[in-house]
């Protein structure tokens, strides 16, 4: 059985002086006026489950104004195990503890996975490539600790390389960092490609359900050494996977071919930070051609596929965090979400208006009305 969040306690987190929520059931709906602190709760749960914040918040943002530190705690249980996950924040550090023992965040990844869905997620389709890479990497980090470590190491290598190129450093130094880039970059590319291969099927299938089978959704993962020109990507490339040695060889060749250009532009152009991820609707780039409604459906299909992949890899249903998204979905898309909840994922939902929820769902939910001044909330 999957671990579920049973209790939440926040101290000096965002606008909460104290927040204590107990007896959390399958579905909890937080309802309240704009600016009351609904999203803050979802962010807190994400920090205690996915161990990251979709707002990419710093300690300064997370700690309640004029306080020095914050503490967040989740009691989780699967009926056999009772665990306490804590996050302690101050200006200098972000420390996690499990049952009182200090843990690196990498060690807790995947313990209580979550999938978050917010209105800003439209960026996943219409935003820059980096939004799609980040989404895939965040998922990868939850399902595979090594993915998390390799991605962090890779980011350090690229930062270092960019510094060298900016300083017009000696070519021996650039060659040395390129060697590291090939080793770490090939690993990251292989992890991404493998994860993508798992996501593709469920994503297309969820989209088919949501759209009533009217359009075909495909996803293309193009490593930085391949052409980013969608029109030139044949079916073979769409489905491509490769071994680590093949990735190393392709990365090395691309680095060599573009070395002069990297020197001229004084930045790293080859490597997983330049990989392309594209959604295609009936063969056309969805970022450019899909309507707003189609883009929303792609995001929803992606999120539902994420939940399916997490469950498949970790054998654990992820917690669903739905921040103010019900109002944006039409009946068919809402049904797809409700169906995912009914498959047993614990769900936290925020809304300013309960009218978007059907009676049947509300009757099964724990509805928490946040008070006007929610500094101290005890439920
Ligand atoms: N570090 C902080 N210290 C104190 N208050 C904060 C801090 N960070 C954010 N807030 C407050 O939290 C509130 C916003 O909370 P949140 O984003 O959760 O609102 P919401 O209920 O989701 O609103 P909406 O329905 O408009 O999306 C704002 O009033 C903001 O001033």
pLDDT digits 0-9 by tens, 194-252? 999 999 999 999 999 888 888 899 998 999 988 654 445 444 444 467 899 999 999 99
CA of 236 relative to ligand 1 center, distance in Å? 47
Which ligand 1 atom minimizes the distance to the CA of 63? 1
* pLDDT for the residue 61: 95
Low-confidence residues in the chain, pLDDT < 70: 227-240, 372-379
Which ligand 1 atom minimizes the distance to the CA of 323? 22
37 is in an annotated binding site: yes
* pLDDT for the residue 335: 79
**Those residues with Cβ within 8 angstroms of residue 111's Cβ, 6 or more apart along the chain or in another chain:** 3, 76, 83, 85, 98
Q: Decide whether any atom of ligand 1 lies within 6 Å of the 269 Cβ.
A: no
Task: Return the residue whose CA atom lies nearest to atom 24 of ligand 1.
Answer: 34
ipTM reported for the complex, 2 dp: 0.98
* pLDDT for the residue 10: 96
Alpha helices in the chain (DSSP H): 38-49, 59-62, 105-108, 123-126, 129-143, 145-166, 171-211, 235-238, 244-257, 259-265, 286-289, 292-314, 331-342, 359-364
DSSP state of 179: H
243 is in an annotated binding site: no
Q: Where in the chain is the domain with CATH 3.40.50.300?
A: 4-113+316-378
34 is in an annotated binding site: yes
Q: Decide whether any atom of ligand 1 lies within 6 Å of the 211 Cβ.
A: no
Q: What is the third-level CATH fold of 4-113+316-378?
A: Rossmann fold (3.40.50)
Q: Decide whether any atom of ligand 1 lies within 6 Å of the 351 Cβ.
A: no
Please give, one letter per residue, the 3-state secondary structure of 237-286: HHCCCCCHHHHHHHHHHHHHHCHHHHHHHCCCCCCHHHCEEEEEECCEEH
| SS3 at position 170 | coil
CA of 46 relative to ligand 1 center, distance in Å? 16
Q: Decide whether any atom of ligand 1 lies within 6 Å of the 35 Cβ.
A: yes
Is the separation of the CB atoms in 281 and 217 below 8 Å? yes
Q: Decide whether any atom of ligand 1 lies within 6 Å of the 324 Cβ.
A: yes
Angle between helices 171-211 and 129-143 (to 10 degrees): 90
**pTM for the whole structure:** 0.89
* pLDDT for the residue 255: 96
206 is in an annotated binding site: no
Q: Decide whether any atom of ligand 1 lies within 6 Å of the 65 Cβ.
A: yes
* pLDDT for the residue 106: 85
**Run of H or E including 117:** strand 114-117
Q: Where in the chain is the domain with CATH 1.20.1050?
A: 126-142+164-289
**Cβ atoms within 10 Å, residue 197:** 14
Q: Decide whether any atom of ligand 1 lies within 6 Å of the 258 Cβ.
A: no
Nearest to 362 by CA among 341, 344, 332: 341
Which ligand 1 atom minimizes the distance to the CA of 67? 3
* pLDDT for the residue 230: 47
Is the separation of the CB atoms in 360 and 18 below 8 Å? no
| SS3 at position 56 | coil
The CATH number corresponding to 126-142+164-289 among 1.10.10, 1.20.1050, 1.20.120, 2.60.40 equals 1.20.1050
353 is in an annotated binding site: no
Which ligand 1 atom minimizes the distance to the CA of 41? 18
Q: Give the C-alpha separation, 98 to 326, whole Å.
A: 33
366 is in an annotated binding site: no
């Amino acid at each position: 059985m999957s671990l579920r969040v049973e209790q939440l306690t926040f101290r000096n987190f965002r606008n909460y002086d104290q927040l204590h929520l107990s007896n959390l059931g399958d579905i909890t709906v937080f309802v309240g006026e704009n600016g009351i602190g609904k999203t803050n709760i979802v962010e807190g749960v994400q920090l205690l489950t996915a161990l990251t914040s979709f707002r990419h918040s710093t300690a300064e943002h997370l700690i309640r104004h004029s306080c020095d530190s914050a503490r967040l705690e989740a009691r989780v249980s699967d009926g056999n195990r009772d665990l306490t996950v804590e996050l302690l924040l101050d200006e200098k550090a972000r420390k996690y503890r499990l049952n009182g023992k200090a843990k690196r965040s990498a060690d807790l990844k995947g313990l209580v996975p979550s999938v978050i869905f917010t209105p800003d997620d439209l960026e996943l389709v219409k935003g820059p490539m980096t939004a799609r890479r980040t989404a895939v990497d965040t998922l990868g980090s939850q399902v595979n600790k090594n993915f998390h470590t390799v991605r962090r190491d890779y980011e350090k290598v690229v930062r270092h390389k960019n510094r060298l190129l900016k300083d017009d450093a000696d070519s021996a130094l650039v060659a040395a960092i390129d060697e590291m880039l090939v080793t770490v970059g090939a690993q990251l590319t292989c992890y991404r490609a493998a994860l993508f291969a798992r996501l593709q099927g469920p994503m297309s299938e969820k989209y088919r359900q949501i759209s009533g089978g009217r359009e075909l959704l495909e996803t293309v993962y193009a490593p930085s050494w391949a052409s980013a020109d969608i029109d030139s990507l044949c079916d073979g490339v769409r489905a491509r996977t490769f071994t680590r040695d093949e990735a190393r060889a392709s990365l090395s060749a691309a680095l060599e071919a573009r070395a002069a250009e990297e020197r001229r532009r004084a930045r790293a152009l080859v490597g997983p930070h330049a990989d392309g991820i594209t959604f295609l609707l009936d063969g056309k780039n969805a970022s450019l051609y899909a309507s707003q409604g189609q883009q929303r459906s792609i995001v929803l299909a992606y999120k539902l596929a994420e939940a399916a992949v997490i469950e498949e890899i970790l054998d654990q249903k992820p917690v669903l965090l739905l921040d103010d998204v019900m109002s944006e979905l039409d009946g068919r898309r809402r049904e797809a979400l409700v169906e995912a909840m009914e498959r047993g994922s614990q769900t936290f939902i925020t809304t300013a208006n309960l009218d978007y929820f059907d009676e049947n769902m509300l009757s099964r939910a724990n509805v928490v009305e946040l008070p006007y001044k929610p500094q101290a909330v005890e439920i």
